[in-house]
Structure formats: C-alpha cells, structure tokens
Chain A
Amino acid sequence: MSLTNGPHGRPYAKLASRMFALFCAGATWLCVTILMLLLWNVVSYGWDSLSWEYINRFPSRFAEKAGIKPALVGSLYLIGLTALFSVPIGVGTAIYLEEYAPKNRWRTIVQINIANLAGVPSIVYGILGLGLFVRAMQLNRSLMAGALTLTLVVLPIVILAAQESLRAVPSTIRQASYALGATRWQTVWCQLLPAALPGIMTGVILALSRALGEAAPLVAIGAATYVRFLPEDIVNDEFTALPLQIYTWTDQPQKGFHEVAAAGIVVLLVVLICINALAVILRYRFSKNKQ
C-alpha cells in the first residue's frame, strides 16, 4: 500500500481531516473573538460616562447625573464580609473532611452534598437567605443578610478548592510531622496549611469573584436598587451592590442609562481584575518567602 494515501485508500480522507482541524480551530478562535468583541463593546460604550464624578456620585433619576458610589462601597463591604465568613468556614470544612473525618459513609454523603450544593442555582440560595436571614433572623435587607447569603453561595467553591490543595500535599510530609510527635492540629497548622495555601487562595479568589458578580441572590433577599446613602450599620442599613445597580440601569428603557450601566460594568470588571491581581501578588510573595 502506498504511503501517500493513493487511489486505494480514501481519496478525500486527508482533505476531510484538514477541514475538520480547520473547523475546530475556527470554533476556538470564534470563542476568543467573541470574548474580545464583548469586552471591547462594553468598554467603548461605557467609556464616555466613566469619570471621577461618576464613581463619586449617588444614583439619580437622570442618567447624566447618575453615579455608582453606594453600589461600589456596598460591593466592597459585601465581598469583605463574605470573605470573612466563607474562608474560615470553607477551609475548616475542607480540613475536617480531609484530615479529621473517618473515611466512612457519612463522609461520602457530606462530600456528595457539597458537590450538589455547588450546582444549586444562586437564586435558590437567595430564597433561602430570604427565609432564613431576612425573615427568621430578622436581619432585614442589610449587608449582613446579603453577605451571609453570598457566603452560602460561594462556600462549596472554597471547600472544594481547599480540599483539592490539601489532598495535593505529599503524604510524606504528613507522616514526618506525626512521627515527630505533632498533634493533628499542629500538623495541619504548621505543615499542611502553609503547603496548601496557594491553592486555597486561588479558590478563595474564584469564590470572591463569583460573590462580586452575583446579583440574583441579592434580588431575592430584596436588596435595594436605589440607595442614596452609604451603608454605615452592617446589620440595619439597606445597601446595593454593583451587579444589582447595573441590572437596574440595564432594565431602564432609556439609552442614557445603558451607557451608565456600561460604565458600571467597567468598574465591576476593574474591581474583579484588582482582586485577581492581588491574588497573583500574594502568591508571588508567599512563594518567595518559602525560598
């Protein structure tokens, strides 16, 4: 048989293979192009509205006077509080499941439960937050209620990421530590957590990015969409957040508000990039300290 796929073989096989490769490559570059186009559109659309006044102003009934200050401040509070709650609880859960829990049926059930929680739509968490935090715990539509709800939304992300990075720590380190007479917690605190830290931090950043962009659970707990003051009391004052504000503006029929919304999206994306950059810097610092 000839090596060049002559008339005995399938004459179009080579061509078909080429075409298929081209098709797949085209799909990939289409994805990338879509991404570029989207970002470019939003940024160019919102660029004109973006200014220092815009960031430093309160929302208004007039698009030209609308600002994003309370939403930005609200969002920063929200992710701060969410980090405060979700990191200890999430990492604690991961440690318990990986290092403490006996490997029995209960552990498997909890593990499956967490995987499923990761797939529950965020608006369902919003309904839970409404029933539990807003009504039962009487937190009303406060930052606290919002942050606790978002904590539940992102908890599975933190747990799964932390578990994975704990599992990746070589077991020889565990054994060495125990053999030197370290207790379980000493082993976790002095050896496993430092080794797993970069992975955990990646997970935390992922979770906070998600919390920053979530509007649905906040809508469900009834968070305000038009706030003309900055929240001062985290358990009483109403608040709004960036995605919520963007949603409200996008929902307006006037074109002017759409431009304001685009500017809001730019602000949101900038905050997202800042969080991710912070993670990169922190990781760099940690890896340098280790040397």
Chain B
Amino acid sequence: MSLVAPAREPFAAKSSVFDLRWIFEFAIHGVLFVCTAISVITTVGIVVVLLFESLQFFREVSVWEFLTGTRWSPLLKPQHFGVLPLFCGTFLVAGGSALIAVPLGLATAIYLSEYASPLVREVVKPMLEVLAGIPSVVYGYLAVVFVSPLIRDTIPSADLFNAANACVVVGIMILPMVVSLSEDVLQSVPNSLREGAYALGANKLDVTLGVILPAAMSGIMAACLLAIARAVGETMAVTLAAGATPNMTLNPFEGIQTMTAYIVQVSQGDTPAGTLEYRTIFAVGLALFVSTLVLNVFARWILLRVEEKYE
C-alpha cells in the first residue's frame, strides 16, 4: 500500500504573474468588482440626474418659493411652484395609511409572535407574503372599483377620488410589511425577559403590554417608519385613488395629489423635454428621494441601535 510521493520541484514562489490561472482569477475579481460598482454608480446616478435637472429648475424658481409656496400649478397659467400641497398630500396619505396599518399590523404581529400556535403561523405568514407580493397597480384598481364607491356611499360629500381612498388601499398594502418587521422585532426580545415576568406571576397581557412591547418599542417604531417610507414612495395606487388636484388640506375626503402622482401625471402628458414644466418632475423627484431617504436612514439607525442593545 506504500505510495511514492510524486517527484516535485522544490516549493517556489508564484511561478509567473502570467500564469493562466492567475490571470483568470484576476479577471473574475475585476468583473465582480465592476458588478459591485454598479450599485454605487446607481446611487451616484440618481443623485446626479436629480440634481442636474433640479439645479436648472432652481435657476428659474427660487428654492424658497419651491419649499414654502402653498400653491402648485406648474402646468396651468398662472404658474405656481410651491411644493407644499404635494408634500401635504403625500404625508396625508402616508399618515392615514399608517393609522390603518400600524394598529392592525401590530396586533397581528403580537398575535403571531406571542399567542398563535405554530400551525396558525404556518398558515398566516405565507398569506401575508402573498398580500405583500400583490402589485401596487392592483391596489389602485381596488381603490377605484371597490373602495371609492364604498366611501361615497357612506359619506356622500366626498370627492370621487380622495385621500381616504388611497389611505385604505395603501394601508392594506403596507400592512404585511408592518407585520413581518414588527414580528421580527418581537421575536428578538430575549426569552429571559418573558420568563422573568411570568415567574413573577404576571399574565399574558401584563407580559405582552408591560414587558415585551416596551422592550420592542424602538424596533417597532423603526418598522413603522420603514412602512411609512414605503407609503411615501407608493405611486400607482395613489395616482389612481387620490385624484390629481394638488390641494393643501388635511381633509381625507377631498381630492389631493401626491409627489409621486404628480410625476406620473407629467410623465404621461406631452410636456416637451427641457422646459421648466418638464424639470418640475426632477425637483419633485428630488424632494421625494430626500424624504424617503431620511425616513429610511432614521429607521435603520434605530434598528442598528436595537441590535447593539441585544448583543
């Protein structure tokens, strides 16, 4: 069974840089690096494209007017370039949908995390995933065809397309996100905390509301912020549901327009490229990008702190 070791030249340093294998490895490394660079370039691209056109926009419209003006009518004479109505519309929808999604989602998350049997979880979680996978245009359709008549039946004075419409469908849309993110947070609360409280004779309600929720609070806040960011960026559903009238109002039964819906409106129209009207979409896009970025970064920052706390 003896085996003669194959004769070999003594161990040496890398024979040659031009060794085929090393060229191949080097090439692969380069290709992978380029792939990674693409995501960085994307970010740079977004910022450059938005800034480039926005700067030209802000040459003609002052930043001050844009940020504080309360009327938005770039496509009609007389033109007004105050973004606040769009901003207001966006956050009316985002806030309203959060009002629906957060209590419902949180209760669902608590049920799934603290009460439900494994079987129920096995059934409900995939269903929520299905809910999360339904495209936003479908929600837009539901708003137009089902929700809008329903609201008009209840409140006859409501506009045909209104913010409440959008709130309902966007609320349902971000619901799965609230559930799955909050459930993760609840699950990450150490079991020792639960057991400690039960050992003191607390019942399930005491433990859930008195111990687990407070411990998970900041994580749940982050989850809500992420969901709100999603609602802010939501486009097709709100375009179909909320109407197209920039409106500085907090009445959910009036027609409004969000930032995203405005971008859709201009993109669909025949505004020639290079005009001031056309550039408004980049300025609004920039405002939208910054809003969602701030929300996302803030939420991630909170989550990061939560993770550190439990490590």
Contacts and interface: CB of A to CB of B under 8 A. Distances in A.
Asked if the two chains touch in their complex, CB atoms less than 8 Å apart, one says yes
Interface of A: 13-14, 16-17, 20-21, 23-28, 30-32, 34-35, 38, 41-42, 45, 88-90, 92-93, 95-97, 100-101, 110, 112-117, 119-128, 130-132, 135, 152, 155-156, 159, 183-185, 206, 209, 212-216, 219-222, 225, 243-244, 246-247, 250-251, 258, 261-262, 265, 268-269, 272
Interface string B13-51: 000000001001100110111011011101101100110
Contact of A25 (B21, B111, B144): B111
Contact of B45 (A31, A128, A155, A262): A128
Contacts of B131: 31, 34-35
A130 B263 CA distance: 12
Interface in B180-214: 203-206, 208-209
Contacts of A30: 104
Given A28-B107, A250-B144, A250-B240, A155 B38 contact: yes
A238 to B, nearest CB: 14
B232 A121 contact: yes
Contacts of B25: 183-185
Interface string B81-122: 000000000000000000000011001101110111000100
Contacts of B263: 123, 126-127, 220
B39 A114 contact: yes
Which A-B residue pairs are the 4 nearest by beta carbons?
A121-B233, A213-B135, A92-B35, A27-B107
A223 B182 CA distance: 37
Given A31-B108, A92-B35, A216 B235 contact: yes
B273 interface: yes
Given A14-B203, A183-B25, A265-B141, A209 B133 contact: yes
A123 B235 contact: yes
B234 A35 contact: no
Contacts of A38: 134, 142, 172
A244 B268 CA distance: 11
Contact of A116 (B103, B134, B293): B293
Given A20-B208, A116-B293, A117-B42, A127 B108 contact: no
A128 B110 contact: no
Nearest to A91: B35
Nearest to B39: A114
B136 interface: yes
B260 A27 contact: no
